[in-house]
Amino acid sequence: MTYDGVDLAVGNGTVDFTGQYLLRRDSDPALVGAADEVDTEGFIAEVVVTPQCDLGRHFFTLLHNRVDSDLAAHDLESVTSAATYLLARNLRLTAEYTFDLERERDRIVLGVVSGF
């Protein structure tokens, strides 16, 4: 199997963009000695907005994720938006909405994230 890809990150601390593209070629993805080559490509694009740069408590994120494979069961495409409020250095509130374009389903996540 081989992987090829690129990664790009640009920003100024207030608005940051990250993008990645990956192509995977696998001559035997099921490990059964098959001769069929499977190509899978994917990309992710993310914009993070931090209005007060690293001193702020508010963070907003937009994300687009896509996987396109010769194995249709592995196809994926979704968009996500999120808002985060930093309560303390290791404690934050988060709200996230994701829409799965491939399966036409949505998901909402509300939570508290902590690290100790």
Task: Dump pLDDT digits (tens) for 67-80.
Answer: 999 888 889 999 99
Name residue 31's beta-bridge partners: none
The percentage of residues in the chain with a pLDDT greater than 90, rounded to a whole number, is 72
pTM comes to: 0.81
pLDDT at 22 over 90: yes
- When pLDDT is cut at 50, 70 and 90, the band that residue 36 belongs to is confident
Task: Give dist(CA 82, CA 95) in Å, integer.
Answer: 6
Question: Pick the residue with more confidence: 31 or 21?
Answer: 21
Count of Cβ atoms closer than 10 Å to residue 42 Cβ: 19
pLDDT digits (tens, 9 = 90+) for 47-102: 999 999 888 899 999 999 999 998 888 899 999 999 999 998 899 999 999 999 98
Residues 6 or more apart from 24 whose CB is under 8 A from it? 1, 2, 3, 39, 40, 41
